A and B are shown apart, each in its own frame.
Chain A
């Protein structure tokens, strides 16, 4: 259950559907995202603002924790063996690690009418790919830097044969997830639809954002204890914050 949503929020805002944002979050900040509508999707990437070459690494995240989905107790790892953020509260039980990004060719293939800014102003149909490129460019980053992203709120599961299936209705209105930042992190996010979303039209589904603070995790923390690997990940963060 959500335990960090809103109560101690230092700042709240709303990111409308089909939009993007980036924010540098300090260690000890909590980021709570709450869906207003069913089947909301939030694409997320993480970079180290001190060294932008250090970035979210989903393969390392998955294999370190022997998981295909992400939920409470899991950590988001950089390619340098450190933990950007841990998931300290989650109503959903599953966030997608494999779906990637909505691309321009999906708009066409899905029959989602491509709507320009001239036609619809800010209700136009941006792709997750372009949204990330826009935010990355603000930090001198580009195509080469776009790592595989998380899709918060979305669920893509595999059957016993390895066939993938997007699960509509997985996210319900009011569902919430809270990340606790374990080091200073540049968070890049967008609210473009999941590339496997079967909606007949491009859905604009935004997300409520609340920033708060959390005490430093102790050794009985759920994310610290969920895997022996995570205790070592936190040990790497400790070395980093010692100045190594």
Chain B
């Protein structure tokens, strides 16, 4: 569902550009609004959320999809935790559909998907590992790196039970915006994948904007 936002970038309390293959970790407070902006189009922002006060409670793709009864995320989606609570609610979306089934690329899964000799290539999971290694203050370890949201990614499910990876439906300037329902840690890998069309074989920057 396409819903535009009334938030103005000049009123944001923070604006951060995340280059392709780089990561972001930070806190969004309850009531704040977070926007992910696809600056150049066709990017994939692999995103995890945690309850900032108890990081064992985190975003759960399965709880989110089952409770909303739909397989894609868009405006109106409540992003639920593994304990059934709402972490954030998507309030605006100019892209229309985001994936949460396909998971993140990893050095190890790249060997399966593409070639064993691709194992050295940069990946979202390695990006997250760097983030949690650099930021021990969040108390996150590999156990916490679970099933993520792929903002801006298009992974259609067929009625017969197939899963397909389609060219992105995002474009330069498209965004998704969500309001935090509790204090959350946001951990993003701006996807470095070079082996499939999720980002048009050309990873590009995204921008994160936060409003009070």
Contact = CB atoms under 8 A, between A and B. Distances in A.
Contacts of B110: 81
Contact of A162 (B63, B141, B157): B157
B164 A53 contact: no
Interface string A80-115: 111000000000001000111101010000000000
B60 A79 contact: no
Contacts of A99: 62, 66
Interface string B62-102: 11011001111000000000111000000000000100011
B111 A62 contact: no
A159 B159 contact: yes
Interface residues of A, number: 48
Given A68-B101, A81-B106, A162-B70, A232 B112 contact: yes
Q: Is chain B's interface secondary structure helix, strand, loop, or mixed overall?
A: loop
A77 interface: yes
A193 B33 CA distance: 37
A164 B71 contact: yes
B146 interface: yes
A242 interface: no
B143 A81 contact: no
A157 to B, nearest CB: 7
Contacts of A233: 112
B101 A59 contact: yes
B56 A232 contact: no
Tell which of A149, A161, A164 has the most Cβ of chain B within 10 Å: A164
B161 interface: yes
Tell which of B56, B97, B113, B161 has the most Cβ of chain A within 10 Å: B161
B108 A147 contact: no
A120 interface: no
A57 B143 CA distance: 12
A59 B103 contact: yes
A98 B65 contact: yes
A229 interface: yes
B56 to A, nearest CB: 4
B160 to A, nearest CB: 8
Contacts of A63: 101-103, 109, 113, 155, 163, 165
B206 interface: no
A232 B116 contact: yes
Interface in B150-192: 155, 157-159, 161-165
Tell which of B113, B115, B155 has the most Cβ of chain A within 10 Å: B113
Given A67-B163, A68-B101, A80 B108 contact: yes
A105 B83 CA distance: 9
Interface in A47-75: 53, 57-60, 62-64, 66-69
A105 B84 contact: yes
A71 to B, nearest CB: 8
Given A143-B82, A157-B161, A163-B69, A100 B60 contact: yes
Contacts of A58: 62, 103, 147
A53 B142 contact: yes
A103 B147 contact: no
Contacts of B148: 59
A159 B69 CA distance: 11
Given A59-B101, A59-B148, 8 more contacts: A68-B158, A77-B109, A79-B109, A81-B110, A143-B57, A148-B146, A164-B66, A229-B112
Interface of A: 53, 57-60, 62-64, 66-69, 77, 79-82, 94, 98-101, 103, 105, 142-149, 156-164, 195-196, 229, 232-233, 235-236
7 contacts: A59-B101, A60-B103, A62-B102, A63-B163, A79-B108, A236-B112, A236-B116
